[in-house]
A and B are shown apart, each in its own frame.
Chain A
Amino acid sequence: MSTATPRSESSASAADDSYTSVYHLYEPHKVGLPKLGVYFKELWKRREFAAESSKAGMRGANSMTFFGQAWLVINPLLLALVYYFLLNVVSGKIGQGFDAQQMAHITGGLFVFYFFQGAVGTGAGSVVGAGKLILNTAFPRLLLPLAAVRTGFYRFLPTVPVYIVFHILAGNPWNVATFVAAPIFLLFITIFAAGLAAVFAALQVYFRDTSSFLPYVMRIWLYTSPVLWTIDALRGHRFAEILAPFNPLYALIGGYGEALQRGVFPSLSVWLIAAAWAFGAALVGFGFFMSRERDFAVRL
């Protein structure tokens, strides 16, 4: 018992930089969340991992080859065409010539929605897909869904020039809103997607069928968001107008569309709702993920 000297405070402070120093102390976690300072410092230190893992994933999916890249453009473009015809058939406008305005709206919204859907979908599988790495390496797990969002973003980039073509065909304006407000809304969408990717990645560990119902959620979400229709279309429908702000993508994609396609600065309320959804989702999603992530190794 002679060695049983009392514990001192210094060990607790040494744990603060436990990842970086030589001395590591592992103790039971008192509450759900790890020490955020250390966690995000480590996360930042390993950002290369997220980048490399995303790149490797894209190489694996042949996204880096010519036809892989081409497919990233052709796939959403074909979908945009399908929706364009569908809308025209439904509204009885078929045969009235090419409506470049509408096509620009559909492509602009659909491409960014595809980015969102892809990021969340890939993110959902990221933790379960990392299997052995989770079991045998200690690192901030949040890197995995974030890498998926990066992948989604890089798959979105090749569609931007395609949109620009339709933008020009439709004669849409180029102004400050296009170049400033639209990218900011794109950032909001990215942050929102990261939050959701984290939530679904954690859920997928517990319920492996999460990814099978995700596509249905996304499909409904697509129809209830201003992708195929514009924010103006709601005017006069009181019920829809009240409910719309509760759909995060209403403000996020709606604001993005207004700024990008019409060159209008969205109203303040749209800015605030979009920002609130984006940062709220990130806060809740990351918090949920981090509080569960130590459990992943025994659940995989």
Chain B
Amino acid sequence: MISLSASEQEQTTGVGGGTADEAAAKAAPAKTAPATPAPTSGDRGLVGGSFSMSSKRPKREGPTSGDGEYTFRDNSGRTDLAVSVQHLSITYRTTFERVPTFKNAIVRAGRGERALIEVNAVNDVSFDVANGTALGIIGSNGAGKSTIMRALAGILPPTKGRIETWGRASTLLALGVGFNAMLSGRENVILGGLASGLSRAEVEERANDVAEWAELGDYIDAPMRTYSSGMFSRLAFSVAVHMKPDILMVDEALSAGDAAFREKAQAKMDELRSSARALFLVSHALGSVKEMCSDCIWLHKGKIMMHASPAECVDAYTRFVKVGQTPATMEEL
């Protein structure tokens, strides 16, 4: 390992850390399966990350202030990992107004209020993903699954902790490709590709593959507002798999396709699992998580409840939410 500089080096002070969670997280590469947590009585509902409303401007703490509490493993020399997440916490402030306007801000300021909520979307999450892993992420709505995906792609900065990825991560969050409904599918594909840093030649070459695979026919050059939801998700999925990311993240993308498309998507995913460094599948379709993934994380309210094999996670999760493995929850993709 490379020599350390004393000033950069922030050793554990022994004050902040030391929770059971953290100890478990430290031993991350070895899968840890803490005893199935029972829902506590103080648990306010199952859904939603914790958030607090504040009427005053919250104190601006330096975003790095928490770093001192943790010791980070040095992964810089490693090549066996695709993703390493250490003590990741993401807290952000956003407004609860439907449309934030200057007018409302003034009205609220007059009353001494601010329309801000602080969302603790992710709370001290650590996990490693080795090359070749297909990681399933399950959890209730609002557990922080998509937030973690966005953080891995570099869209949301961590509030605490660190994220390391080896390779380019592509997000495929639900129906996320077409951002401008007035433009054609092809234009959206090209713009998305250029924005994510591909060259024009690469993008144009791939745009044809994307269109062909998605079987949109002439619709590829029609405005995206004319697309059906199935066409939308076919295009979204096709874009994600054709941009050849090193780390592929699929978030509920297949839900709108028809049977033939699902079959095709399944085959493509199997193919990608071997070529991509890692594959993340965020899904409520527990059956497909069980079937396709080699590793699984169960998130709840921004915390890792379990990091174990897909079967164990799905079992614990379904027990936790008391739904049981009915055909509805296990439904294929």
Residues of A within 8 A of B (CB): 1, 3-12, 14, 19, 22-30, 42, 45-46, 48-49, 52-53, 56, 59-60, 129-139, 143, 206-210, 213, 294-295, 297-299
Contacts and interface: CB of A to CB of B under 8 A. Distances in A.
Contacts of B151: 26
A125 B67 CA distance: 36
Contacts of A143: 195
Contacts of B190: 52
A262 B154 CA distance: 52
Contacts of A27: 64, 158, 162-163
A10 B76 contact: yes
B173 A136 contact: yes
A298 B167 CA distance: 25
9 contacts: A1-B26, A4-B26, A6-B11, A8-B74, A24-B154, A28-B63, A206-B100, A207-B102, A210-B102
A77 B311 CA distance: 70
B200 A136 contact: no
Contacts of A5: 1, 73-74
A234 B124 CA distance: 64
A128 to B, nearest CB: 10
Given A48-B194, A49-B195, A23 B76 contact: yes
Contact of A60 (B105, B165, B175, B182): B182
Contacts of B163: 24-27
Contacts of A42: 197
Nearest to A11: B76
B281 to A, nearest CB: 16
B159 A209 contact: no
Interface string B271-303: 000000000000000000000000000000000
Interface stretch (B91-99, B135-143, B321-329): B91-99
Contacts of A46: 194-195, 197
A56 B157 contact: no
A18 B48 CA distance: 32
A208 B101 contact: yes
B308 interface: no
Contact of A7 (B9, B166, B179, B197): B9
B192 interface: yes
B35 interface: no
A53 B191 contact: yes
B167 A22 contact: yes
B67 to A, nearest CB: 7
A298 B94 contact: yes
B179 A6 contact: no
A10 B196 contact: no
B197 A19 contact: yes
A56 B187 contact: yes
Nearest to A18: B154
A138 B171 CA distance: 9
A10 B2 contact: yes
User: Nearest 9 pairs between A and B by C-beta?
Assistant: A132-B179, A136-B176, A49-B194, A207-B102, A138-B154, A133-B179, A209-B101, A26-B163, A8-B2
A45 B74 contact: no
Contact of A207 (B67, B101, B187): B101
Contact of A48 (B11, B29, B119, B200): B200
Interface string B175-195: 111111011000100111011
Contact of B171 (A25, A26, A137, A207): A137
Contacts of A10: 2, 74, 76-77
Contacts of B176: 132, 135-136
Nearest to B251: A136
A137 B155 contact: yes
B153 interface: yes
Contact of B194 (A52, A60, A294): A52
Contacts of A26: 151, 154, 157-158, 162-165
B58 to A, nearest CB: 14
Contacts of B159: 28
Nearest to B11: A6
Contacts of B165: 23-24, 26
A22 B131 CA distance: 13
A52 B76 CA distance: 36
Contact of B164 (A9, A25, A60, A210): A25
A9 B2 contact: yes
Contact of B196 (A3, A131, A139): A139
A6 B191 contact: no
Contacts of A49: 191, 194-195
